[in-house]
Amino acid sequence: MIGLTADQIAAEIETFSDRLKQGARTLSEVGEIETGVSSREAVYQEDKLTLYRYQPRVEKPHAVPLLIVYALVNRPYMMDLQEDRSMIRGLLDSGLEVYLIDWGYPDAGDRTLTLVDYVERYIGHCVDVLCDRHGVDAINLLGVC
């Protein structure tokens, strides 16, 4: 803010404050937004992890399933926000058999987990489940962060 006067700085702060107040009012008026619009069922659980299978939207989905591994600290419903804003819906409509890992909410009990636990144990077990369910030796994997 080089070259600004004290009055200009005060005006900028006041404008910023007004925008924050308006944003808070807008957020308080939004109400509930439906998320997770695609039908799904839990097919495997381990500790806090839940593996979901999304209901196919084509008569004969692709034989090799897709496993979406979502970020540990983000919420996976972002992949399926609304019918017209859903990556999952697009994948289903293109004929894929879609699964997604929801890691649940971390807490102090997770402090001893390592990357090896997440990759070799949790993701590895989910891959095994899908290979067994679909009678395949390998699956497709999509990592999202």
Cα–Cα–Cα angle for 130, 59, 77, rounded to 5 degrees: 55
What are the φ and ψ backbone dihedral angles of 140, each rounded to 5 degrees? -95, 145
Annotated catalytic residue 145? yes
Calpha distance 133→69 (Å, rounded): 18
The DSSP-derived string for 33-73 is -----S-EEEEEEETTEEEEEEPPSSSS--SS-EEEEE-SS
Q: In Å, what is the CA distance from 86 to each residue of 6, 66, 79?
A: 48, 16, 6
The active-site residue, picked from 2, 27, 30, 145, is 145
Calpha distance 136→68 (Å, rounded): 17
Active site residues: 145
